[in-house]
Chain A
Amino acid sequence: MIAPKSLVVAASLLLAAPGPARLETPAPPDSAAGADSAQVARLLVAQRASDPLVCALATEVLGTGIHWSSGWEGIAALHDEPAETHSTRDVLRESITDPAALGLLGPELQSANACVRRTAAALLGGSGRPQALGLLRAAAGSGEGRMREAGTYGLGVAGDTADAPRLRNLLGDRDPNVVRLAAWALGVMEDEAATPALVPLLRHQEAGVRRAAAWALGQVTEGHS
């Protein structure tokens, strides 16, 4: 049996085949690699070197389509901001669809840097692409807790209700962090079928899990959107 982790890496390499695959030394933008890969590579390199707080703040809006408060369409940008920053910012706040860029993100689901891992999961989930969802599913089934955590988070960002049964299974995961994120993701999906499995989690020994379950149970209610 092939380990899910190997699957993630293999799938990532396949996706990244036409583009740069080594993160430490990202290749210059290559037309064959797609429009987003250079921006994603740049972000990942920057994140590794950044303060965790800056990194965490920066990743809040990744892949969400939310406009930055600094300005809409660059109207409110400061005059000496590099123009290329705008385009990079716009790419990263929207869904990443470039297969090569997604390929860069796949291996980062196992990064030791939590912020990078979260970024990869958010961008893969936000892309909604079948390949990206495949990577996240494989990560959610991985033997490594932090990969399962990242995969679960990414599936929650994707919000594809087809993954609800998988996430319901993860409510029984041995890792409480995975359980917490699975509860959150099911709340995001407003998955009513998860209610019976969420209720016992209100007595879970980890407060984080209880918190997520309590929140999720408020999302699956009637008329809530």
Chain B
Amino acid sequence: MRAELMPALGGWLLTYLIHSTLLLGGAWLLTRRLVQTAPGRDLVWKAAMVGGLVSATLQAAMGGPRLGGSVDLGLDRVEQASTAQTASQLSVRNDRAQWGGLLGSLEQAPEPAAAVAAESGVPGPAVTPPPRPSLLNLLLVSYSAAALLLTALYLIRRGRAMRRIGPRRPVEDPRLLTMLDLLREGGRVRRPIRLTAAGGLSSPVALGWDEIVVPEAALTELDADQQRSLLAHELAHLARHDPAWLTLGCVMERLLFLQPLNHLARVRLQEAAEYLCDDWAVHRTGSGFSLASCLVKVAEWVDTGPATVPLAGMAERRSQLVTRVHRLIEGRAMSAPRSLWLLSGAVTLVALTAVAAPGISTGTQSPADTNSAAPSEAVLPAGTEEGVATAWAPSAGSAPELTPADTDDVKLRRTTADMRQMELRARMEAARELRTAHGVLAGTVPMAPLAPMPPSWLIAARAPRAFGGNWRVSGRQGDTTSIAVPALMAALKDTDVEVRRAAVQSLSNHEDRRAVPALIDALKDSDAEVRAGAAMALGQLEDPRAAAPVSALLKDNSVEVRRAALWALHNLPGEVSTDAVLAALADSDAEVRQAALGLALSRMSEDEDGNRQADPRYVAAFTRMLGDTNPEVRQQSAMALAESGVRQAPAALLALARDKNAEVRQQVASALGRIGDPKAVPTIKELLQDGNADVREEAVSALSEVRDRSALEALVGALKSSDPVVRRSAAEALGQREDER
């Protein structure tokens, strides 16, 4: 029994290593690009983690040839010569025999010492030597011991973690129990769930099959919404059997430690589980914010030391917390449901691996295996490249044609392989049909062969960085716009004003440039709201064709339309009539006048150094506006004047230094400094005595900008000011001047 078990175990382990590497590596690649949703990632990693076990076991159980070929380590043959054959002889046999030579075997009966002695040329002992353990067995025994030791250590650490949690008492608060019952009912979790509290716990955890353990602090420090979110999250772990998956992952990590990707799979599974449980909780409670605030609160309780063993806990993965909180607050939770085609794809992949992936056998074969393998070994000379290539050849299209000379056994084997290929093709065809049917049922055409279409908000968030601008023009999103926009353009002519308002708003959402002509027409609509909406939509589209028609709206009867037009003109490239802007600067509405100041500045031409070229008509308008009734307009016109490139401070600006509004005076000081006119120094000196500290400080700053001796003297005088802020600012300004010199 033992003689057969050990090589079989070795073969299985190596086969598992190949299969799991293929599946886990594939999962890694898939989840990097194609599968972006949490349910998809969860499924892919689960399938990859368990798939290696399943496919290696299935292949071992099925026996016979594999479509992907098999590597026979030839331990039985090697065994016959293992103690005597030289290294050179082994290399002549074939590459696979070298593997066997490396691993060795104890299971075959030892050869007589005399024969060994005869072949090696060394005189043998008089008695038969005791059997020696082979390298394979030593390796397997060592591996098993290490795996069991690691697993035992994990179980011990888990036991310690449970002891550290301390005794768990049942929670008896009827409010919490009712909350849990309602969540359970809503989430269709039929089994009863125990709710317990433990003093030694810092983060809530889901344990085993039916228990949620919360820290004592969760009962007192969280509000009702946070508690509901907490319970919903942990209930989701139980509903998804996450504790069991986590335990399985941890045990696999240790028992099959020769596959390091198992660790990655377990970590990725844990991450996906947290996102999915967040989504489940948000769906059940209707609030991502409550869960986010609960996470933040729980994170405060969690100690920062390394976690002993992974548990299905709310804040166990601290590195993921920030992302989760952001995701919840930004409303990015609520993953798409796991799709059927992805599930069928995963099952197909595992089955494909079991059928087509190469396997390893260590030479101790069942009689059936021996029989089926014999012709191949006989036909193909061992050790040739051809032989090795055939052993590793992929299944599709590589099988040679059958010839009359082939034995029945070979024919049977190839026919079986063909049937498997046909079955595989049929499965793939069925999966493709299923995907198509799914798309038809959903009324959509599937976008990608593997990934479900992300929700629209996700595309908006990811398109710029992941797919570039072209993402929008393809796929069903583009289709939606292509159908909707022409219809909405026609709706702009509807007789019902509400329809036109809704249409213009919807066109604004679509941001499609085809709508520009229709929106320009809508600028002449009889309804002000439609005109304003059209202007805003055109502003968003930033199309230069719209600049002139929108600037005409600056004389519109409706103040809302004029405001919308100014907003749009800020965004729109293209010529805007100076007359229209001047009209807006004289508008009856203060908000329009302020917006027009900004627009006028943005439309001034600049010289090579970036200095604005003062347009006399604008300067006159700004100067006139210094006397505006609205203090904010006065402030902004003072600044506009300074920014417009004038070199001499107008008298109106100097007079404004006595404005009753302190913020206006402060802005005047700033503007005088920006203009740098020496004639303004006496006015700035007056502002040094202003009753408002901010004005005084701004005046010092203005003096430092005026390049004139009178300004320098004023700064020196300011060193004697009774205001310490003025003294300090003046000293700093003087120091700066000294440095510049």
Contacts and interface: CB of A to CB of B under 8 A. Distances in A.
Q: Do A and B come from one complex?
A: yes
Nearest to A198: B484
B468 to A, nearest CB: 14
Contacts of B507: 218
Contacts of A85: none
Interface stretch (A47-55, A112-120, A147-155, A207-215): A207-215
B457 A223 contact: yes
Contacts, number: 105
B460 interface: yes
A129 interface: yes
A207 B496 contact: yes
B153 interface: no
B328 to A, nearest CB: 15
B443 A218 contact: no
B456 A202 contact: no
A17 to B, nearest CB: 16
A225 B484 contact: no
Nearest to B477: A222
Interface in B575-631: none
Interface string A161-177: 00000001000000000
Interface residues of B, number: 39
B444 A221 contact: no
B268 interface: no
Interface of B: 182, 186, 286-287, 331, 442-444, 456-457, 459-460, 463, 472, 476-481, 483-484, 487-488, 490-491, 494-496, 498-499, 502-503, 505-510
Contacts of A130: 186
Interface string A184-225: 000000101101101100100001001110110111111111
A66 to B, nearest CB: 12
A223 B480 CA distance: 12
B175 to A, nearest CB: 10
A59 interface: no
A225 B456 contact: yes
B167 to A, nearest CB: 32
Given A202-B488, A222-B459, A207 B498 contact: yes
A199 B499 contact: no
A195 B491 CA distance: 15
Nearest to B460: A223
Contact of B484 (A128, A129, A210, A220): A220
- Shortest beta-carbon contacts, A-B, top 9: A218-B506, A223-B460, A214-B502, A193-B443, A207-B496, A222-B477, A215-B502, A218-B509, A225-B457
Interface in A64-123: 65, 95, 97
Contacts of B286: 65, 95, 128
6 contacts: A193-B442, A195-B480, A195-B484, A219-B509, A221-B509, A223-B459
B331 A225 contact: yes
B496 A218 contact: no
A217 B506 contact: yes
A31 to B, nearest CB: 11
A128 to B, nearest CB: 7
Interface of A: 65, 95, 97, 128-130, 168, 190, 192-193, 195-196, 198-199, 202, 207, 210-212, 214-215, 217-225
Contact of A210 (B287, B331, B499): B499
Given A97-B182, A193-B444, A218-B506, A223 B456 contact: yes
Nearest to A98: B182
Contacts of A211: 496, 498-499, 502
Given A218-B502, A222-B480, A225-B457, A199 B487 contact: yes
Contacts of B460: 222-225
B456 A214 contact: no
Contacts of A196: 443, 483
Contacts of A218: 488, 502, 505-510
B487 A217 contact: yes
A204 B499 CA distance: 11
Contacts of A223: 456-457, 459-460, 463
A224 B509 contact: yes
B491 A214 contact: yes
**Chain B interface mostly helix, strand, loop or mixed?**
helix
A215 B506 contact: yes
Q: Which of B444, B487, B488, B505 counts the most chain A CB atoms within 10 A?
A: B487
Contacts of B459: 222-223
A220 B477 CA distance: 9
Nearest to B510: A221
A167 to B, nearest CB: 13
Nearest to B441: A165
A157 to B, nearest CB: 12
A129 B184 CA distance: 12
B483 A222 contact: no
Nearest to A94: B286
A196 B484 CA distance: 8
Nearest to B331: A225
Contacts of A220: 480, 484
Given A217-B506, A221-B477, 14 more contacts: A65-B287, A97-B182, A192-B444, A192-B477, A193-B443, A198-B484, A202-B503, A214-B502, A215-B506, A218-B508, A219-B506, A222-B456, A222-B481, A222-B510
Contacts of A192: 444, 456, 476-477, 480
Contacts of B487: 199, 202, 217
A193 B488 CA distance: 17
Nearest to B486: A199
A215 B499 CA distance: 8
Contacts of A198: 484
Nearest to B463: A223
Given A65-B286, A129-B186, A221 B499 contact: no
A214 B331 contact: no
A168 B441 CA distance: 13
Nearest to A222: B477
A132 to B, nearest CB: 11
Q: Which of B287, B495, B498, B499 counts the most chain A CB atoms within 10 A?
A: B499
A36 to B, nearest CB: 11
Contacts of B484: 195, 198-199, 217, 220-221
A222 B509 CA distance: 8
Contact of A217 (B331, B463, B488): B488
A58 B506 CA distance: 29
A205 to B, nearest CB: 11
B494 A199 contact: no
Given A129-B186, A214-B506, A224 B456 contact: yes
Nearest to A223: B460
Contacts of B505: 215, 218
Contacts of A65: 286-287
Contacts of B182: 97
Given A95-B286, A202-B488, A211-B502, A221 B480 contact: yes
B461 to A, nearest CB: 8
A130 to B, nearest CB: 7
A219 B509 CA distance: 8
Contacts of A224: 456, 460, 509
B613 to A, nearest CB: 40
A150 to B, nearest CB: 22
Contacts of B477: 192, 221-222
Given A218-B507, A218-B510, A222-B480, A190 B456 contact: yes
A168 B463 CA distance: 29
B356 to A, nearest CB: 37
B446 to A, nearest CB: 13
Q: Which of A65, A168, A198, A223 counts the most chain B CB atoms within 10 A?
A: A223
Contacts of A128: 186, 286
B502 to A, nearest CB: 4
Nearest to A159: B286
B463 to A, nearest CB: 8
